[in-house]
Amino acid sequence: MTHLDADRLDPEHPAHAVAAPSPATGLTAAGVAERIARGQVNDVPVRSSRSLADIVRANVFTRFNAIIGVLWVIMLFVAPIQDSLFGFVILANTGIGIIQEWRAKKTLDSLALIGEVRPTVRRDGKPAEISTSEIVLDDVIEIGPGDKAVVDGVCVEADGLEIDESLLTGEADPVVKQPGDQVMSGSFVVAGGGAFRATKVGREAYAAQLAEEASRFTLVQSELRSGISTILKYVTWMMVPTAIGLILSQLLAKDNELDDSIARTVGGIVPMVPEGLVLLTSVAFAIGVVRLGRKQCLVQELPAIEGLARVDTVCLDKTGTLTEGGMDVTDLRVLGGADERHVRAVLGALGASDPRPNASLQAIIDTYPDDGAAGAWRNTRSLPFSSARKYSGATFDEGDGAARTWLLGAPDVLLPEDDPALAETGRLNEQGLRVLLLARAARDLDDPEVAEGVEPTALVVLEQRLRPDAADTLRYFADQDVRAKVISGDNAVSVGAVAAKLGLSGATVDARRLPAEREEMAGALDEGTVFGRVTPQQKRDMVGALQSRGHTVAMTGDGVNDVLALKDA
């Protein structure tokens, strides 16, 4: 494992570097207390949803409630209670909104609690599992496969550490980290392990800043709500002269008592307010929320139902929407007359030799478990996968007295350019498949040129695991005249191949060739269906370009880099 001395952590701020803890021991209890006293704590208010007060305020203080409420109060003073029953529409309308949105809030809050991570930090030389809100500046945080960086920091230890920053940058390939490299909040470890020192906590962390910007609440755009509000605005202006005329006619022409005149005036004005329209709209929205809830869909605001109904374009991310996180082995192509049974045993042994398999190796482990003859092999040396060298390897004593070294990795790295297996690899890549080469090495794993002159043994063909419901979902969109646009940071060819397998036809476009001007981009988006190599900023620009053409756009996404585009959609 590679280490970084504490006095080299922050060359721009030497005073801070002197106070930084040793990577091996982390902060002392006194150091933690000192930073807590200075307020250098990762204390970020978790606001996964609106507060109950916000929900009540938004549903109570409306133009409709104001009009009916004033008339209701007047009637309570001047007429019998049975003449004031119209006011209960306020309770019904307000109650529907508050109850539905409060239920959504409770669900969101429980999901946020379930998804909370508990990182491991080093304090007083011992590892300790704490909540994210207890992290302080300069904490040394241990990370391994699957762990998420919850604060910004700088790497202090690395043992084959590879971090996936696709949620931040959209770049699919993992980034190899060495001591001194930056670690961004929102990224997560895919291979290796190590530790990093927290340099930005709380609202200063990148992910926290982005989340704070995205969490600024804005009302859902609703044409129905806007139309009703416009009607009520005109009704309000018309009510004033109408009320004056009615009460004068009651007092002067018919010589009624004041209370009776007021009651009759209110009775004449109330029908001007479209109570039924408002109530039935809320009921229709509530029914939609219930029906969507049965399909595991959470609606935070009632008017979002209308927005969903008006959607004519859906922007889909590939990973997590069309495909699942894992991969599957679809084919094994043996080369050079090798024994397929032995090849399967080697693949199983290679999988068992890596304690931190990536997605590709995990698919091989699932397909070729380490059993049978390979289970008795002795692993004498292992080389974990690295995206820098693009292969992994291991040396096995296979029980016949001979030690053999095997490599598994990218064919274009392990094979010479004129090897016929590369042509086959290219054809498979064009179909959106990933290909790994299993090769026997003539040199030891310790040799820096171990990948030279290898003997190709087999091609392992993998594909991303498609979601079982993805094809049906795309067909449903087509039946509803909703256009689907696949937007991904991955290679355009592979994304297009996945879309084609799911029955989504249309042009595949490399987003690096898209024009920057909004109108020209909108034209390109109308013509294309699948877009690869899309940057985070482009996602937001693409949503804006589609909206500029009058489209109602919905978007799915699972990354920090998607949040602002999701908010715009």
Catalytic residues: 317
Rounded distance, CA 199 to CA 535, Å? Answer: 26
What are the structure tokens assigned to 310, written together? Answer: 């008006």
> Which residues lie closer than 8 Å to 460 by C-beta, 6 or more apart?
329, 331, 332, 347, 364, 408, 435, 436, 437, 438
Burial of 151 (0-12, 13-18, 19+ CB in 10 A): buried
Rounded distance, CA 240 to CA 549, Å? Answer: 41
Is the CB of residue 310 less than 8 Å from the CB of residue 552?
A: yes
Is the CB of residue 489 less than 8 Å from the CB of residue 533?
A: yes
Signed CA dihedral, 226, 231, 236, 238: sign only: positive
- Write the DSSP assignment of 73-85 as a string of letters: HHHHHHS-GGGGG
Closest CA to 486 of 470, 469, 472: 470
Rounded distance, CA 67 to CA 278, Å? Answer: 13
Rounded distance, CA 269 to CA 263, Å? Answer: 10
* Token pair 């704070």: residue: 212
Rounded distance, CA 316 to CA 127, Å? Answer: 41
What's phi and psi for 462, nearest 5 deg? -125, 155
Measured CA distances, 331 to 31, 130, 410 (Å): 55, 44, 16
